[in-house]
Amino acid sequence: MTRPASVLAGPKSRPPIHSQGDKTIEYAEKLLSVFILVPFAGSLIAIFFPSDQRGAISWFAGAIALVCFLVTAGLYPYVASGGVLHYRIDWVPELGLNFTLRMDGFAWLFSALITAIGVLVALYARYYMAEEDPVPRFFALFLAFMGSMLGVVLSGNLILLAVFWELTSIVSFLLIGYWHHNAHARDGARMALTITGTGGLAMFVGLIIIGKIVGSYELDAVLASGDAIRNHPLYGTVLVLVLLGALTKSAQFPFHFWLPHAMAAPTPVSAYLHSATMVKAGVFLLVRFWPVMAGTEAWFWIVGLAGLTTLLLGAYFAIFQQDLKGLLAYSTISHLGLITVLLSLGSPLAAVAAVFHIVNHATFKASLFMAAGIIDHESGTRDIRRLGGLFHFMPITATLAMVASAAMAGVPLLNGFLSKEMFFAEAIETHLVNPLDTVTPYVATIAGMFAVTYSLRFIHGVFFGRPPADLPRKPHEPPRWMRAPLDFLVLACLVVGIIPAQTIGPFLHTAVLSVLREGTPDYSLSVWHGWNIPLIMSFVALSGGIGLYFLMRSYLATAVEGPPVFRLLQGQRIFERVLVTLSWKWARWLEQRLGTRRLQPQMRLLVFLALAAGASPLLLGNFELPPLVIRGIDPAFALLWAIGIACAIGSAYQAKFHRLASLVLLGGAGLVTCITFVWLSAPDLAVTQLLVEIVTTVLILLGLRWLPKRIEEPVAAEDISIRVRLRRLRDLLLAIGAGGGMMLIAYTVMTRPLPETIASYFLERAYREGGGTNVVNVILVDFRGFDTLGEIAVLCIVALTVFALLLRFRPQSDSLEAPEQQKVQNAFDDDHPDRAAGDSVAEYLFIPAVIMRWMFPVTGMLAAFLFLRGHDLPGGGFAAGIAMSIGFILQYMSGGTRWVEERLRIHPLRWMSIGLLVATATGVGSWFFGYPFLTSHAQYASLPVVGKFPLASAILFDLGVFSLVLGATVLILIALAHQSVRAPRAHAKAARSDKEAVR
Amino acid sequence: MELAVVWSVLVAQTMLALAMAFALYRMARGPRAQDRILGLDTLYINAMLMLITFGIRTANTVYFETALIIAVIGFASSIALAKFLMRGEVIE
């Protein structure tokens, strides 16, 4: 579903572009999906490249980025002069969640930045990554990141925005931790994820509240209701939550400390994520919501304080970094602070400057990161103390890096100068009368001075001074194409810096227009504004910064990493402390208080909590017991129930004293349940329950073998202490309470008049739409096929988990040896010379074994019968699977594990995987016929002898269910049964090795 | 349905339920484990017959499968229990 592009009628906007025809707009809107589809599809493909094809894969990634860039470029006419493109697919419209992509001028500018720098980074990475690095993983993540980032900027729906936002956090975690053998990379990645992920969650909550305030999650609706949001009582909450997301992502004080640690990432990642994309997502969000949230006192204080602190501290810390990338990281933090300060002011001109600086910073910082990478790559170190005089070895790179750092310092005729000048101009304006506004110009000048100092340090410390003595490698110019991205970016810095109005001007205007709309101020992008205060501030910053550098030079040349005094107060340490306290100390404390290894207290706690949770709503909301009505008693049914109740109580009573009796009684209770299902017209349930009942009995018996023997302690009744009696009484009351509660709930529900339920809906449609008369089965395999698919997947996982757990099963030593009965019978065989070992068991089992073997084909027949008629009458894949597994169990019981496995091929794992594949493939198959996932097709087919049977495509799905259930049941039972063979063997082996160790 | 059928089914069901009650007595009291297991087996057989009478009573064939399953594989749990008694484990 697409809507025609809405065109804003701003005072400056030109006539709408409808003259080009609605057809082309529709086409352009469809193209928006390219931005999401192509990078993610490319990411999937990139995984499968062979890892030695560095060239091919980087060309591939570069081509994908280039395609996205070209599409961006092609869409420019549609967003220029205030146009907005929409592409919308309904996802869960009831929840207000739509897959809406929305491109306006600002999103366009960001898309262009993301894709263009993406192309350059792909080219750069081709040369940067080493032979031994797993390159496919890098490029797959790189493309996935590009897709997520494009998703963030193009989301037209708040929830979608949050989804892509979290995706960028996750993918950046993987990218930062790319060299996961390195502890720094792992720690840095984890910290980045924890901080940005937590912020993202807070933002998500904030966005949901915004959606509730506005009444829609669509961005258009949100942007149109700024007053409603600002005047809402929850504005403060929303503001804090959304800002948490933005400020953590953009590494603003006090969340800034993750960014320097993220420098453990490969340099192309830093150049991409930490200059142009990831960290810009935070300021992107601030700009996005600027029209609806900015301009209030709270916004000014929170955003302004965070921004100013970050601006100053980031610049100050950057001076003292010895690592090139560390310097750049702190400089990035500081520049992001600058953008944040601009956005805090609430003036349209400041917003223009902020958008401009976002672009400028991306260009010069990406090129500087690349330069740092080249220096690292060609000389083997990034430590400024060890580097020096590199100008002689790599003059071109040095020149490029110098121009870029000059832009970072804000030297005239470069792009950084222009936006910094605009910043100074805004800083001296008075927006709100308060102390923060008063100190802004001074802080700005001082931070500008620091920026000059660290930029100069970058240039002078690396390229000039005494030549390096003991570098790991002899430095030289990088390959031609490794430098090409740098050439391009630095050229952009220069051109924009000299003729801004002719180059970036129109694009910037488009972006600003889409954010500020009618409020777009007049501004001029030119290099020379005459002698004014901002120019003087720039001059002060420049000369002060140069002076500061030469004053501190000798200190910096030998100093340790990090700024004095602040060095001791590390954000990272505080972060680690908090994490340890939360996830270790408190968790341990809770575990010690509440945790226990004994089953009884655990059960008691669980049942008690369940009882409390169930009873509290009933007690709080005047619950009235429906009157007890007795009528039409069927004597047989009543007697059956009496038997069932007696069985259940007897089973519970015997559970402790006589396990076998308890199990037998449990079987009786289960059987009565099955008959009840029949009596109450649920033959389907009865069939399934009966089969499950039989399998469960065998399963528990298999487990009973490994339980330790009960220790008989003859205690006289009067010796039992009062405490024990009280405990037993409490447990009894608890059990009666829980059981009685369940009974009450069931009774109440069943005696209520039935409201309009979905039952009639399914009854009506089962045959017409699902082609079957067994409604339960049609629901399972057709209407609710997706649920069933999920359920069988869970069954699969459970079976595999049980299997895996049993692989490490170590039985108690007293249950290791053969059971008493076997010993006696074997001893009898051994005592009589005319008997072979195992004769007794063969004789005992002679007739039953024959019956069990002969019943195998019959059981198979029964399973086939249940399976085929499942669509119309009781049965189905699940029941058939269990029935078949009982057939296998009978064989195991008659002949033993070895006998069966010599004769039959038992591959439960394979059956399970085939089942899951068939079920999924059936669902996918309906796509090829143009229907949604798991749409079924129904028809009857006839076979000789068997007769007519339904051939819905759902039967294939059911076949998958059958195979999986069979596999899972057999797997669990066999895994248990194998313990009898495995455990003594493993024990003997362990004993042997112990003996050898003693020797 | 004829009155005779209704009555005879009702009587049959009551008798079967009584038989099941006696089986329950063996299951609960024993005295030996073998008695309990045989009690359960008897309970299953009676349940199967009960289901068939229920089918007669409602003149419906959909309840037949349940009885069929008891007939074909209902003995599996009895066998498992018996094997457990005799050998101490179900699958060797």
Kindly determine whether residue A687 and residue B65, on different chains, have CB atoms separated by under 8 Å: yes
Chain B residue at shortest CA distance from A876? B65
Cα–Cα distance measured from residue A381 to residue A650, given in angstroms and rounded to the nearest whole number:
78
Residues of B in contact with A858 (CB under 8 A): 72
Least CB–CB distance from B80: residue in A698, A855, A883: A698
C-alpha to C-alpha distances, A14 to A513, A581, A609, nearest whole angstrom: 12, 59, 66
Q: Which chain A residues are closer than 8 Å to B73 by Cβ?
A: 691, 694, 855, 859, 862, 883, 886-887, 890
| For A701, nearest residue in chain B (alpha carbons) | B90
Greater model confidence, A601 or A308: A308
Considering only A262-276, A569-583, A838-852, which range has the smallest mean pLDDT?
A569-583
Tell whether the model's pLDDT for residue A7 goes beyond 60.
no
Range of the domain at A988: 774-999
Give B14→chain A minimum CA distance, Å: 5
pLDDT of residue A691: 92
Residue-wise pLDDT for A689-698, tens only, equals 999 999 999 9
Nearest residue of chain A to residue B15 (CA atoms): A636
User: Which of the pair, A315 or A82, is modelled with greater confidence?
Assistant: A315
- Whether the Cβ atoms of residue A475 and residue A379 lie closer than 8 Å to each other: yes
The candidate with the shortest Cα–Cα distance to A176, out of A40, A267, A243, is A267
Residue A956 domain-assigned?
yes
Say yes or no: B13 contacts chain A, CB-CB below 8 A.
Answer: yes
CB A780 within 8 A of CB A762: no
Query: A883 and B51 in contact by Cβ < 8 A?
Result: no
Selecting from A664, A683, A841 the residue whose C-beta is nearest the C-beta of B65 gives A683
Mutate which: A634, A643, A814, vs B, most B CBs within 10 A: A643
Complex-level ipTM: 0.96
Question: For position A943, what pLDDT does the model report?
Answer: 57
Q: Range of B37's domain? A: 19-87
Q: How confident is the model at residue A999, as a pLDDT?
A: 56
Of A514, A534, A563, the residue that ends a domain is A563
Task: Give the pLDDT of residue A363.
Answer: 92
Q: Is the pLDDT of residue A344 over 60?
A: yes
Cβ separation B92–A886 shorter than 8 A: no
φ and ψ at residue A279, rounded to 5 degrees: -70, -20
**pLDDT-based confidence at residue A6 (cuts at 50, 70, 90):** very low
Query: Looking at residues B56-85, what average pLDDT do you find?
Result: 88
Residues 358-417 of A with CB under 8 A from B: none
Confidence band, pLDDT 50/70/90 cuts, at residue A942? low
Residue A11, pLDDT score: 37
Tell me how close the Cα of A882 comes to any Cα of chain B, in angstroms. Answer: 11
Full DSSP string of A247-274: HHHTT-TTSTTHHHHGGGS-HHHHHIII
Measured distance CA(A323)–CA(A461) in Å, rounded: 11
The reply to whether A530 falls in a domain is yes
Task: Answer yes or no: are the C-beta atoms of A656 and A728 closer than 8 Å.
Answer: no
Most confident of A384-393, A835-844, A866-875, A906-915: A906-915
Binned at pLDDT 50, 70 and 90, residue A69 comes out as very high
Q: Which of A657, A678, A859, A898 to mutate to test the interface with B (most CBs of B within 10 A)?
A: A678
The reported pLDDT for the residue numbered B50 is 92
Assigned domain for B14 exists = no
Count of CB atoms situated within 10 Å of the CB of A834: 6
- Token reading at B38: 């045989």
Whether pLDDT at A934 is above 70: no
What total number of domains does chain B contain?
Answer: 1
* Chain segment A614-649, per-residue pLDDT in tens: 888 878 877 777 777 777 788 888 999 999 999 999
Domain annotation covers residue A259 = no
B85 touches chain A (CB under 8 A): yes
* Residues of chain A found within 8 Å of residue B24, distances taken between Cβ atoms: 643, 646-647, 668
- The shortest C-alpha distance from B13 to chain A (Å) reads 6
Alpha-carbon gap, residue A246 to A230, rounded angstroms = 18
Shortest CA gap B83–chain A (Å):
8
* Contacts with B, A 541-580, CB within 8 Å: none
C-alpha distance from residue A699 to each of A801, A879, B37, B72 (Å): 16, 17, 16, 19
Q: Does A887 touch chain B (CB under 8 A)?
A: yes
Mean pLDDT to the nearest integer, A262-286: 90
The pairing of beta strand A97-103 with beta strand A85-92: antiparallel
Among all residues of chain B, which has the CA nearest to that of A658? B33
B79 assigned to some structural domain? yes
Which residue among A513, A528, A563 closes a domain? Answer: A563
Q: Which residues of A touch B18 (CB under 8 A)?
A: 639
Which two three-digit tokens encode residue A330?
Answer: 């702190």
Work out the percent of chain A whose per-residue pLDDT is above 90: 32
Which range has the top average pLDDT, A7-16, A817-826, B11-20? Answer: B11-20
Number of structural domains, chain A? 2
* For residue A1, pLDDT beyond 70: no
Cα(A219)–Cα(A207) distance, rounded to whole angstroms? Answer: 11
B8 within domain boundaries: no
**pLDDT interval class at A946 (50, 70, 90):** low
* CA–CA separation, A821 and A249 (whole Å): 69
Query: What mean pLDDT do residues A399-411 have?
Result: 91
pLDDT above 90 (res A973): no
Report yes or no on A503 lying in a domain: yes
- The minimal CB distance from A701 to the residues B17, B40, B84 is found for B84
| A36 vs A23, higher pLDDT | A36
* Beta carbons of B66 and A821 less than 8 Å apart: no
Whether residue A595 lies inside any domain: the answer is: no
Q: Do B87 and A875 touch (CB under 8 A)?
A: no
Q: A residues 945-974 near B, CB within 8 Å?
A: 973
* Count of Cβ atoms closer than 10 Å to residue B11 Cβ: 13
A360 versus A952: the higher-pLDDT residue is A360
Q: Is B3 touching A (CB cutoff 8 A)?
A: no
pLDDT category at A113 given cuts 50, 70, 90 is very high
Is residue A5 predicted with pLDDT exceeding 60?
A: no
Facing A821 at nearest CB: one of B21, B39, B86: B86
pLDDT in tens, A486-517: 999 999 998 988 888 888 888 988 998 888 88
Alpha-carbon dihedral angle through residues B1, B4, B10, B12, given to the nearest 10 degrees = -120
- The yes-or-no verdict on residue A718 having pLDDT over 70 is no
Q: Does B69 contact chain A (CB < 8 Å)?
A: yes
Domain boundary among A535, A563, A591: A563
Neighboring chain A residues of B34 at a CB cutoff of 8 Å: none
pLDDT above 60 (res A786): yes
A68 vs A66: CA distance, rounded Å: 5
Average confidence score pLDDT of chain A:
84
Are B72 and A668 inside 8 Å of each other by CB? no
**Cβ–Cβ contact B87 with A under 8 A:** yes
Smallest CA–CA distance, residue B2 to chain A, in Å, is: 19
